[in-house]
Chain A
Amino acid sequence: MILITSLMGFALLNFEAAVEKVIPFEKNATTIAEMLLSLRQGIFPSDLQTLEELDINLCDDPTIADHLSCRQLPLEERTTYYSMIESQIMAYTQTSSEELSLLRREVSFLLVEKQLKVAASSKDLSISQAINAIDELDQTINLFTERLNEWYGLHFPELEKLVGDNVQYCTMIAQIGWRDDFKDDRISAAAKTSMGVQISGKDMHIIQCLAKQVVDLGKIRESYTSYIEEGVSAVAPNMTALVGPLITARLIALAGGLKNLSKKPASTMQMLGAEKALFRHLKTGAKPPKHGIIFQHPLVHNAKYWQRGKIARTMAAELSIAARIDYFSGEMMAQGLIDKLEARVNEIRKKNQYPPRKKNKGRGRKL
């Protein structure tokens, strides 16, 4: 027999395409949507066990076909059969065509809402948002620090050179303010000979307001970093062990989730984040990029330029294995990957100790 899924119920056809039996669904959009959702997710609903006792040779739904180990009905035939028998199912289940189109709409909305809930609840989406937020925080911190450089620089321009870190610079402005109040020897020495002018208390207060904001943004950034570290080591422990939490989070964000990332080949993993250069290469034949975001890993960016591409390639290969373990099993097997990566990197360094000889461009070899 042939099984066809409709919103009103299952229809069983014999090979002359005559309806033999209809197993009706409860006329309730929520129940139908839940059943369809579970079939989409590849789970055979337990209340469909009655189907197991029937002699079904062909079935339109992939999950049911798989469960009953019968052949799947191609879409072409499914639509032909369905248009022949729709009115019979409607008569059997006493469904009017208005009811049917209303049911279609209701079930679709419920199904989409359920699917969206499933999609939104995945942890890696939250990690992607956090890593993007960190990039934006960095931009904002830099922007405000530049403004403070100009503004606070009216009073004490020498401070900027003495403090390396943006957030630290802003913390000093926010907490100390006047150049004469600095206790640090180096800074107070500079303050004595400062080129800056005296400013009013009102001006200083206004400047400190902005500096406080930067300090707060710095705190947010710190908490986001630890959130990512925590989240990423739960979602992708092997990748985290291999390249650290921030690169892992960036890769997940670029691929649009761990699921997508785990399906990408190693070569794509190597290029993620270098799309602009890659497409320039494809379009104009310029030199292809050697690395995308994995350049941020010290093994890659500290490597000698002639070894860098090879190391990036190896790292991407191990990363793609790690991503697959993380998505499909979640087991911790990173040590083996780390060992392999180290061994291969050492081999690359040994085999390519010297830079390649520069090719003689243009004139050719002199005889």
Chain B
Amino acid sequence: MKEKFSNVYYDDIGFLTKNLVPGIRVYGEKLVTYNEEEYRAWNPNRSKLASALMLGLTIIPFTPSSKVLYLGSATGTTVSHISDIVSEGMIYCVEFSPRSMRDFIGNAKMRNNLVPILADAKQPIEYAPLLETVDVIYQDIAQVEQAEIVLRNLPFLKKGGHIMLCIKARSIDVTKDPNEMFKKEIETLSQAVDIVEIIDIGQYEKDHSFVVGIKR
């Protein structure tokens, strides 16, 4: 087992993260013990960040002490792995659906580095008092104005901080060509962000693209 990024491991079964809460599975993933430490297999079919990693993503901006704003945490599959990575940091998880949040807070209670926020990511001023300046913004909200939502939340990100965005072309317009939609969203982002990496994860999630950028 090799450490490919800080706290992100690679083995012949794929990527893994060190389990912050040993013995507990979050979404039925495989647990692997190596040198008396427990690791959770990171399923690329369940988590779009894992699929981007499988397809050669070279930038993982998380360090063990990173502070992250995660927009669209859903039930917390990807969040749980980032929570393993930023073991000393903090993740602010914004989710709009009460139903998803209900499933999420059960997991969140067990992990000391998660802060759940039930709010609309389009109205960041509502949750501003709960937040601090963050190092990374991760966004995975299948919405029409995906890039716009990132821009609205950008004030929380420190200068030079990273954004990670998973674009779902079919949520923007089902009738248009996905590549055009990716281009449009990336253009919107470029107003305030330098794009450093784009990975097409269509192999795992149809018509999805993963984008990494740095705030100017």
Q: Give per-residue flags for B112-127: 1 if the beta carbon is below 8 A from chain A beta carbons, else 0.
A: 1001111100001110
Q: For the complex, give the distance between the alpha carbons of A82 and B132 in Å.
A: 9
Chain A nearest CB: distance from B177 CB in Å? 12
Cβ-neighbour of A105 out of B98, B115, B156 (below 8 A):
B115
- Decide: A116 and B98 in contact? CB cutoff 8 A: yes
Q: Give per-residue flags for A312-329: 1 if the beta carbon is below 8 A from chain B beta carbons, else 0.
A: 000000000000000000
A1-37 residues with Cβ-Cβ distance < 8 A to B are 5-7, 36
Chain A nearest CB: distance from B12 CB in Å? 37
* Residues of chain A contacted by B174 (CB below 8 angstroms): 279, 282-283
Q: In the complex, which residue of chain B has the Cβ closest to the Cβ of A80?
A: B155
In the complex with contacts A75-B152, A116-B102, A279-B174, A109-B130 CB distance below 8 A: no
- Decide: B129 and A108 in contact? CB cutoff 8 A: no
In the complex with contacts A105-B115, A116-B101, A120-B98, A83-B129 CB distance below 8 A: no
- Decide: A75 and B175 in contact? CB cutoff 8 A: no
- Decide: A60 and B125 in contact? CB cutoff 8 A: yes
- Decide: B130 and A78 in contact? CB cutoff 8 A: no
Q: For the complex, give the distance between the alpha carbons of A61 and B102 in Å.
A: 26
- Decide: A104 and B155 in contact? CB cutoff 8 A: no
Indicate if B105 sits at the interface (CB-CB under 8 A): yes
* Residues of chain B contacted by A109 (CB below 8 angstroms): 105, 108-109, 116
Q: For the complex, give the distance between the alpha carbons of A109 and B125 in Å.
A: 18
* Residues of chain A contacted by B132 (CB below 8 angstroms): 86, 104
Q: Give per-residue flags for B152-178: 1 if the beta carbon is below 8 A from chain A beta carbons, else 0.
A: 100110000000000000000011000
Chain B nearest CB: distance from A89 CB in Å? 11
- Decide: A79 and B129 in contact? CB cutoff 8 A: no
Q: Give per-residue flags for B22-43: 1 if the beta carbon is below 8 A from chain A beta carbons, else 0.
A: 0000000000000000000000
Q: For the complex, give the distance between the alpha carbons of A109 and B106 in Å.
A: 11
Indicate if B90 sits at the interface (CB-CB under 8 A): yes
Q: For the complex, give the distance between the alpha carbons of A131 and B174 in Å.
A: 30
Cβ-neighbour of B155 out of A6, A61, A76, A108 (below 8 A):
A76
* Residues of chain A contacted by B130 (CB below 8 angstroms): 7, 36, 104, 107-108, 111
- Decide: A112 and B129 in contact? CB cutoff 8 A: no
- Decide: A282 and B175 in contact? CB cutoff 8 A: yes
* Residues of chain A contacted by B118 (CB below 8 angstroms): 111-112, 115-116
Interface of B is mostly: helix
Of B98, B152, B175, which is in contact with the most chain A CB atoms at under 10 Å from its CB? B98
Interface of A is mostly: helix
Q: For the complex, give the distance between the alpha carbons of A6 and B130 in Å.
A: 8
In the complex with contacts A79-B133, A79-B155, A108-B175 CB distance below 8 A: no
Q: In the complex, which residue of chain A has the Cβ closest to the Cβ of B133?
A: A83
* Residues of chain A contacted by B109 (CB below 8 angstroms): 109
Chain A nearest CB: distance from B105 CB in Å? 6
Q: In the complex, which residue of chain B has the Cβ closest to the Cβ of A86?
A: B132
Q: For the complex, give the distance between the alpha carbons of A80 and B102 in Å.
A: 33
Q: For the complex, give the distance between the alpha carbons of A75 and B105 in Å.
A: 27
Indicate if A168 sits at the interface (CB-CB under 8 A): no
Indicate if A62 sits at the interface (CB-CB under 8 A): yes
Indicate if A123 sits at the interface (CB-CB under 8 A): no
Chain A nearest CB: distance from B175 CB in Å? 5
Q: For the complex, give the distance between the alpha carbons of A354 and B133 in Å.
A: 68
Can you report 19 residue pairs joining A to B where beta carbons are below 8 Å apart? Answer: A5-B128, A7-B130, A36-B129, A40-B126, A75-B125, A75-B128, A76-B155, A78-B128, A79-B156, A83-B133, A101-B90, A105-B112, A105-B115, A108-B115, A108-B130, A109-B105, A115-B118, A116-B118, A283-B175
Which A residues are closer than 8 A to B by beta carbons? 5-7, 36, 40, 60-62, 72, 75-76, 78-80, 82-83, 86, 101, 104-105, 107-109, 111-113, 115-116, 119-120, 279, 282-283
Known: A60-B128, A279-B174. 11 other contacts (CB 8 A): A7-B130, A40-B119, A61-B129, A76-B155, A79-B128, A101-B90, A108-B130, A109-B108, A115-B118, A120-B98, A283-B174
